[in-house]
Amino acid sequence: MRIDVEATGICGADIGTVRNPAPATGFPVTPGHEVAGVIAELGPQVQGWEVGERVAVGWFGGSCGHCPACRTGDVVHCPQRKIPGMSCPGGWSSTMTVPAAALARIPEGLSAAQAAPFGCAGVTTFNALRHSGAGPGDLVAVLGIGGLGHLAVQFAAAMGFETVAIGRGEQKRKLADGLGARHYLDTERESPGAALAGLGGARLILSTASSSKPLADGCPAT
Ligand SMILES: [Zn+2]
Ligand SMILES: [Zn+2]
């Protein structure tokens, strides 16, 4: 499928793509794996899609479809999986070509700029919440209110979790409130481990922060 690109997110992993050449060719490829656009051209074998449909492409750029991982639905661990921006040119471009299996439809009411980051940051946090075993009413904490965290807080609130946003500094409190967090913990002012314990303990802590220091907080001293 060839897609006319309308918006592409910038993910932390893209920095690695820019700095490190693709192993197969030795040359950098076009980065970009949070892509939203419109189908411009169908391949000859493609069924179920039409030119003009609004679609997104994320980190998953297609898989072999017949290996043990693919047969059990674990497509991201297919040895032959493709990653846009690494195994093929990605979305930092006006056009890109991917297998039809890589596409997700964009629902009405979601702009291209809103939909694009769902391809990586969105699906990463959504799947973590959805497969966590937490249910509505459970206390769920999101550590880090940045690119991934600000989406995770919105998903968690919409899923009915009692959502705790954990950020650094008071300036993130208003943002977290607006995103639907019930509580906000400022790691510069309080110990997040003790504060979560005071709220009855968390069913899940989803860490989106690169620093692991707050995760160690509250663990018994060794
Ligand atoms: Zn990414
Ligand atoms: Zn496979």
Residue of 7 and 212 predicted with greater confidence: 7
Those residues whose beta carbon sits under 5 angstroms from the ion ligand 2 are 63-64, 67, 70, 78
CATH class of 124-216: alpha beta
Backbone angles phi, psi at 21, to 5 degrees: -65, 155
pLDDT in tens, 101-149: 999 999 999 999 999 999 999 999 999 999 999 999 999 999 999 999 9
pLDDT at 222: 41
Q: Which ligand is nearest to the CA of 59?
A: 1
Please check the confidence at residue 221 and state whether its pLDDT lies above 70: no
pLDDT bin (cut points 50, 70, 90) of residue 28 is low
DSSP string, 4-21: EEEEE---HHHHHHHHS-
Q: Which ligand is nearest to the CA of 67?
A: 2
Please check the confidence at residue 220 and state whether its pLDDT lies above 70: no
Q: Which ligand is nearest to the CA of 70?
A: 2
CATH architecture of 2-112: Alpha-Beta Complex (3.90)
Q: If you measure from the C-alpha of residue 16 to the centroid of ligand 2, how many angstroms do you get, rounded to a whole number?
A: 24
Kindly state the percentage of the chain with pLDDT values over 70: 94
Q: If you measure from the C-alpha of residue 68 to the centroid of ligand 2, how many angstroms do you get, rounded to a whole number?
A: 7
pLDDT bin (cut points 50, 70, 90) of residue 88 is confident
Distance of CA 172 to the CA centre of its chain: 20
Q: Which ligand is nearest to the CA of 34?
A: 1
Helix axes 149-158, 121-130, angle to 10 degrees: 40
pLDDT in tens, 157-187: 999 999 999 999 999 999 999 999 999 999 9
Report, as an integer, the average pLDDT of 185-213: 91
Backbone angles phi, psi at 19, to 5 degrees: -80, -30
Residue with the two structure tokens 């690169």? 210
Q: If you measure from the C-alpha of residue 63 to the centroid of ligand 2, how many angstroms do you get, rounded to a whole number?
A: 5
Q: If you measure from the C-alpha of residue 65 to the centroid of ligand 2, how many angstroms do you get, rounded to a whole number?
A: 5
User: Measured between alpha carbons, how far is 17 from 22 in angstroms, rounded to an integer?
Assistant: 8
pLDDT at 216: 77
The pairs formed by 25-32 with CB atoms below 8 angstroms and a separation of 24 or more are: 29/85, 29/86, 29/88, 29/89, 29/90, 30/85, 30/89, 30/90, 30/91, 30/92, 30/93, 30/96, 31/85, 31/90, 31/92, 32/5, 32/8, 32/84, 32/85, 32/90, 32/91, 32/92, 32/93, 32/96
Report, as an integer, the average pLDDT of 88-108: 94
Nearest to residue 168, comparing CAs of 215, 219, 214? Answer: 214
Sign of the Cα pseudo-torsion (55, 61, 64, 68, in order): negative
pLDDT at 15: 83
- Tell me which of 36-40, 68-72, 73-77, 106-110 is least confident: 73-77
Q: Which ligand is nearest to the CA of 64?
A: 2
User: Measured between alpha carbons, how far is 31 from 108 in angstroms, rounded to an integer?
Assistant: 27
Mean per-residue pLDDT over the chain, rounded:
92
User: Measured between alpha carbons, how far is 6 from 202 in angstroms, rounded to an integer?
Assistant: 39
Tokens of 164: 């705790």
Where along the chain do its domains lie? Answer: 2-112, 124-216
